[in-house]
Amino acid sequence: MSNSVIIAPSILAADFARIGDEVAAVDKAGADWIHLDVMDGHFVPNLTFGPPLIAALRPHSKKPFDAHLMVSNPDALLDAYAASGADIITVHAEACPHLDRTLAHIRDLGCKAGLSLNPHTPIDCVKHVLDRLDLILVMTVNPGFGGQSFISAMIDKIAALKTLIGSRPITIEVDGGITADNAGAVVAAGASALVAGSAVFRGDSYADNIAAIRAAAG
């Protein structure tokens, strides 16, 4: 088993009627990060939550809060998400006309800077901002909804990114349809952080679910 693999349960799949308890439960169950899928109903069709909810959840876990901003104008929101308690802020390459400046601002706020790529987005767009990045998030589904099926073509994309990154200390994270069935393949390709929603927040034991993904990733 690889102890270096980060498991980041996505609260998008949690029971929103008791969301604070759900965050505390996956923390106790062995989550490494808490993944926060922020959607604005414009960049993606769904609408989820914003800084007030993240701030309200912050006391329920001391684990890093991994905020994935699927929004059209992230620059207007970065300060608010940093203030709400996000430790990592990931923006979409497709939504940032001044990407270098956006990533620099995230770091200036004291957060780690992440860049997400939709399935159709080529990896060339990261070449000139690699030294601004702490994390690259490869979307293995089309963003906007939970519970989608993993796009297997993204395994080659992960491998290409791993080569492009070289020795830089940049985490490759994957998000979308991650289960124990495909965790091993994405980690073998170069990923070291796995976002899982439905595969964690189901059944009677979140701990067993997380352990199964972690074991498969080994």
In the chain the domains, ranked by start, together with CATH numbers, are: 6-217 (3.20.20.70)
Distance of alpha carbon 140 from alpha carbon 121, whole angstroms: 11
Q: Assess contact for 122 and 153: CB atoms under 8 A.
A: no
Task: Identify the pLDDT of residue 2.
Answer: 42
Task: Identify the pLDDT of residue 218.
Answer: 87
Task: Identify the pLDDT of residue 149.
Answer: 85
DSSP state, residue 40: B
Task: Identify the pLDDT of residue 4.
Answer: 87
Task: Identify the pLDDT of residue 1.
Answer: 33
21 is catalytic: no
37 is catalytic: yes
Task: Identify the pLDDT of residue 3.
Answer: 55
Active-site entry in 37, 40, 66, 134: 37
For CA atoms 168, 174, 27, 18, the dihedral sign is: positive
Distance of alpha carbon 31 from alpha carbon 133, whole angstroms: 23
For CA atoms 20, 24, 29, 34, the dihedral sign is: positive
Distance of alpha carbon 105 from alpha carbon 113, whole angstroms: 9
Low-confidence ranges of the chain (pLDDT < 50): 1-2
* pTM > 0.85: yes
Active-site entry in 21, 124, 175, 204: 175
